[in-house]
Structure 1
């Protein structure tokens, strides 16, 4: 045993325990945030399906494709956008904005 650091092992064990505790708390927070997102998404899907918010279907159909940055995400939600049955008016520039 070293004269200068006899408690190093105990201190390292305490640090390891604290890091494990931090990681567990981070996982709990991540799960909570994921659940919040799922519930919020379900709320909006319900509003979209029932037409309970005026203009929400049109807004979603117009802006969701722009919001999605990954091609795989766009492909995944392509059917959702199509099911919104929104046809955007075309302006003179042909960019869909009137």
Structure 2
């Protein structure tokens, strides 16, 4: 046993345990935020399908593609926007 750093192994183990705990908590938070986004999206889809909010379809059709930044996302949502545009005209 060295005179210096005799407890280094225990301290490193403690740090590793704390890092694991932090990562688990981050994963829980990420899952919670994802669930909130899914529920909000479901709520908005329901509002769009049932025309529950005046102007929501028009607003979505006019602004959704401009909000998206990824080309793949824009392609994915293009049919939805076209469907909304047909309804608003």
How many residue pairs align between the two structures? 87
Deviation at 1:82, TM superposition (A): 1.0
TM normalised by structure 2 equals 0.95
Question: Gapped runs of 5+ residues in structure 1?
Answer: 88-98
Deviation at 1:40, TM superposition (A): 0.1
Kindly provide the CA deviation profile for residues 38-68 of structure 1, in whole angstroms up to 9, marking residues without a partner as x: 0000000000000000000000000001000
Deviation at 1:83, TM superposition (A): 1.2
Question: Gapped runs of 5+ residues in structure 2?
Answer: none
TM normalised by structure 1 equals 0.86
Kindly provide the CA deviation profile for residues 16-40 of structure 1, in whole angstroms up to 9, marking residues without a partner as x: 0000000000000000000000000
Tell me the distance in 2 between the aligned counterparts of 1:80 and 1:42: 15
Cα-Cα RMSD? 0.8
1:12 aligns with 2:12: yes
Tell me the distance in 2 between the aligned counterparts of 1:27 and 1:40: 20
